[in-house]
Structure 1
Amino acid sequence: MPRPLWKGAISFGLVNVPVAIYPAASRDGISFDWLDKRDMAPVGYKRVNKETGKEVPKEQIVKGLEYEDGHYVVLSDAEIKSANTKATQTIDIVAFVDAECISPLYFDSPYYVAPGPRGDKVYALLRETMRKEGKVGVAYVVLQTKQHLAAVLVQGNHLVMMTLRWASEMRDAKAIDVPPASLKSSGVRDNEIKMATQLLKDMSEKWEPGQYHDKFHDDIMALVKKKVAAGKTEEVMKPEKEAEEKPSNVIDLTELLKQSLAKKGDKGRKAPAASVRKTPARKAAARKPAASQARRRAA
């Protein structure tokens, strides 16, 4: 069983289904490493301080939002989560729509949704009701630090969540020129329509995704094998591996969910105050008045 990416609950109306979500896809393909052609040393990515040019350890990196030029608000993971606990722990279904209404252009990343502890009965209730009515749940969900619009739908015996692109992210198709809907106005003749229709029927078959594979990957690997056989290889000295990061403490998500539900309707709750930090340039600017006052006193 893979590790869950997220744990929380599906919420629709006053019903809550404890769930966990798992990535439903992985990225295959060819991944090239960067090498310095002068000595074939690996070229890596480093987190570098833009002021000093020195590498910054992971544990020294914090999340900051620039609210004005040179000024940042720094937020910890706990503060981000406390800003809206319900949002970070809930797949909040706000509407049900007909399954065919959502354009494939909006679909982004797929996730499997599995029932959590004591969630089997309500999970099955939601799944079978959606299947019977042919509906898809439209929901809000926060993954890491970003809120997504999402569709919860039925695939076999599983609920699947597809993150969706926001309408504001979609480009207007009207700006792209295409032929009009009328074939005759596009100059297409009747016999061409008949032949195209027959060709489409001849090529029609049942959807079997397993029969398709990455031919480009195969061609690249064949080229690599050919170069290896010909001795056209380079030796690369691998750098020592960094110590693996220790997993963080497990959070009691069930307790957080209970607290979220208990505070439902408490709109006056304030998030913890965030610290404000200045960039080195702003710090220098802030010191200038003090220095000038010292000179005046000396005079």
Structure 2
Amino acid sequence: MAYRPTWQGHLKLSLVTCPVALYTAISSGGDVHFNLINPKTNNRIKMITTDPDTGPIDRSELVKGYEVSKGEYILLSNEEIASVKLESTKTIDIERFVAGGEIDRLYWDHPYFLAPDGKLAQEAFGVIRTAMEKSGQIALARVVIGTRERILALEPRDKGILAYTIRTDAEVRKPDEIFAGISDKAADANMIAIAEKIIEQQEGPFDPSRFVDRYEEALKALIEDKKKGHTPAKVAEPEDTNVVDLMAALRASLNAKGKGAAKDEPNSKAKAAKPATAKPRARKAG
């Protein structure tokens, strides 16, 4: 299957350039997509572009408008928007190299694969890619994708380059805006000890094949049931853990994970040798 590039242009490191193509690294897979249906007629609803004064209008006649005040717009044609020329519209110009650990994971956004565009580009691409690999650092560059200039983080991956769009500082909320209301009170040490044991039981390598979209799978199962005329069963909502029963819930979780570990972990025999439960140390009086 031939993949279509999202963007085509040049990769530039100082005075070295080569034609490259940017491909999205993720796919929608088998996502379930819905259409709006009129249940009375079973017809799919069509969205008609309408002007409140003149009625329906062809989308090809429309232009983009920026609202400068209520009801007042600056109109821009596609040609006028395309006339905004930045070097990053056609060039991924590497500006800086940084250690990967310096980029907060909050800023990582969408992954792409960057590859040479044509056989003649492969030599220069290979030089840039290999030099990046030897540096052990992440390259930061700019590119215009769609109508937005984005920061790209570039790092070697296999024979090509993995490119991630990086969110701007204005896009990322400050954690204190959300976390400020969390209590500073320290958690119970005995409960933490049990929770650590539960974490230890669930340790293992990252295997992406084990993580499927269960909601998508459940939707597909629901659709199959409906096709067969079955009535879907209702699923009960999970109850919040009662603070009074938190210790009991932690101990029950520890026991449950201990019993199920052999099914999930191939090397669970070594872990099974450990005690299934850990009694918390008694607090000293006073």
TM score, norm. by length of structure 2: 0.70
1:236 corresponds in structure 2 to none
Q: Deviation at 1:194?
A: 3.7
Q: Give, as a single letter, the amino acid of the residue that structure 1 aligns with 2:117.
A: G
Q: Say yes or no: does 1:108 pair with 2:109.
A: yes
Residue equivalent to 1:227: 226
- 1:160-193 CA distance string (max 9 Å, x none): 221121101111111223455xxxx51331x444
Q: After the TM superposition, which parts of structure 1 deviate over 6 Å for at least 4 consecutive aligned residues? A: none
SS at match of 1:32: coil
Which amino acid counterpart does residue 205 of structure 2 have in structure 1? K
**What SS is found at the alignment partner of 1:96?**
strand
Q: CA deviation at 1:96?
A: 1.0
**Structure 1: where are the runs of 5+ without partners?**
233-299
Shift of 1:147: 1.2
Count of residue correspondences: 225
Structure 1 partner of 2:152: 150
- Identity, % of aligned positions: 26
Q: Which position in structure 2 is the counterpart of 1:137?
A: 139
CA distance in 2 between counterparts of 1:167 and 1:19 reads 27
For 2:222 and 2:48, how far apart are their aligned partners in 1? Answer: 31
**Helix, strand or coil: the match of 1:141?**
strand
The structural deviation recorded for 1:149 is 1.8
Asked if the contact 1:67/1:73 (under 8 Å) is kept, the reply is no
Q: Distance in 2 between matches of 1:5 and 1:165?
A: 18
Residue type at the aligned position of 1:44: K
Q: In structure 1, give the amino acid aligned to 2:229.
A: A
Aligned partner of 1:201 in structure 2 is 200
SS at match of 2:55: coil
Which deviations, in whole Å up to 9, do the C-alpha atoms of 1:88-128 show, x marking residues without a partner?
10112211111121122112211111102322122222222
Report the Cα distance in structure 2 between the residues aligned to 1:71 and 1:215, rounded to whole angstroms. Answer: 45
Judging changes above 3 Å, is the alpha-carbon distance between structure 1 residues 101 and 13 closer, same or farther for their aligned structure 2 residues?
Answer: same
Go from structure 1 to structure 2 and tell me whether the alpha carbon gap of 1:230 and 1:54 turns closer, same or farther (over 3 Å shift): same
Question: Are 2:65 and 2:73, in contact at CA under 8 Å, matched by a contact in 1?
Answer: no
SS of alignment partner, residue 82 of structure 2: helix
Partner of 2:32: 30
* One-letter amino acid of the structure 1 residue matched with residue 216 of structure 2: H
Structure 1 residue 88 and structure 2 residue 94: aligned? no
Q: Distance in 1 between matches of 2:167 and 2:54?
A: 38
Shift of 1:85: 5.0
Structure with more contact order per residue of length (Cα contacts < 8 Å, sep ≥ 6) = 1
By how many angstroms is 1:196 displaced? 3.0
> Structure 2: 5+ residue runs without aligned partners?
232-286
Structure 1 residue 142 displacement after superposition: 0.5
Q: TM-score, normalised by structure 1?
A: 0.67
Q: For 1:213, give the aligned amino acid.
A: V
Q: Secondary structure at the match of 1:119?
A: helix
